[in-house]
C-alpha cells in the first residue's frame, strides 16, 4: 500500500490537532476552577501563584481568573500571605493526581511560600467524583501545614 503526500499531511494535521492536556488535567480541572474563583483562601488582597510543573500549568492554563489569584512572574520569590514582607505574596502551587479508580479520584493540592527564611508547605487531599461524565469536588479529606528547613 502506497502512502501519498496528502495522506501523510492529513495524519500529521490530525496528530497535531489531537494534542490535548494530559488525562489527569480533566480530573483536576474542578480544583483549577476553584482557584480561579479565589474560593480556596478567604481575603481580599491579591495573591500570586507560581505554577510548579507542567500538569499544574495545564490545569490552570485555560481557567478564567476572576478571584484574588494571579499568575506570578516566573522565578519570583513568593512570601506567605501572613508575612509582612516586601515583594509578592502568594504560593508556588502543585496539583497532583494521587489515585484514580473508576468514578473517584484523590488529588493533592500543595502550596509553598517563604516565611522568616523558612519554607512553609500547606495543602490538602481532595476527593473528586465523576457524575454524568463530569468531574466534581466531593470534599476535602484532610489538610496539613509543615515548616521545611
**pLDDT at position 1, please?**
46
Please provide the DSSP assignment of the chain as one string: -PPPHHHHHHHHHHHHHT----HHHHHHHHHHHHHHHT-SS--SS-EEEEE-SHHHHHHHTT----SSEEEPPTT--EE-TTS--SSEEEEEEEEEEEEEETTEEEEEEEEEEEETTEEEEEEEEEEEEEETTEEEEEEEEEEEEEEE-
Average per-residue pLDDT in the chain? 80
With pLDDT > 90 as the criterion, what percentage of the chain qualifies? 44
What is the average pLDDT across 36-50?
Answer: 71
**pLDDT at position 12, please?**
32
Amino acid at each position: 500500500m502506497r502512502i501519498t503526500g496528502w495522506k501523510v499531511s492529513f495524519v500529521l494535521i490530525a496528530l497535531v490537532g489531537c494534542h490535548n492536556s494530559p488525562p489527569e488535567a480533566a480530573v483536576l480541572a474542578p480544583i483549577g476552577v476553584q482557584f480561579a474563583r479565589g474560593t480556596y483562601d478567604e481575603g481580599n488582597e491579591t495573591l500570586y501563584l507560581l505554577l510548579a510543573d507542567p500538569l499544574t500549568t495545564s490545569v490552570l492554563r485555560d481557567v478564567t481568573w476572576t478571584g484574588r489569584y494571579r499568575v506570578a512572574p516566573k522565578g519570583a520569590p513568593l512570601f506567605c500571605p501572613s508575612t509582612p514582607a516586601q515583594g509578592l505574596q502568594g504560593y508556588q502551587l502543585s496539583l497532583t493526581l494521587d489515585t484514580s479508580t473508576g468514578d473517584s479520584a484523590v488529588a493533592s493540592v500543595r502550596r509553598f511560600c517563604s516565611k522568616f527564611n523558612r519554607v512553609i508547605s500547606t495543602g490538602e487531599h481532595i476527593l473528586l467524583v465523576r457524575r454524568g461524565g463530569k468531574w466534581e469536588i466531593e470534599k476535602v479529606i484532610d489538610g496539613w501545614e509543615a515548616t521545611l528547613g
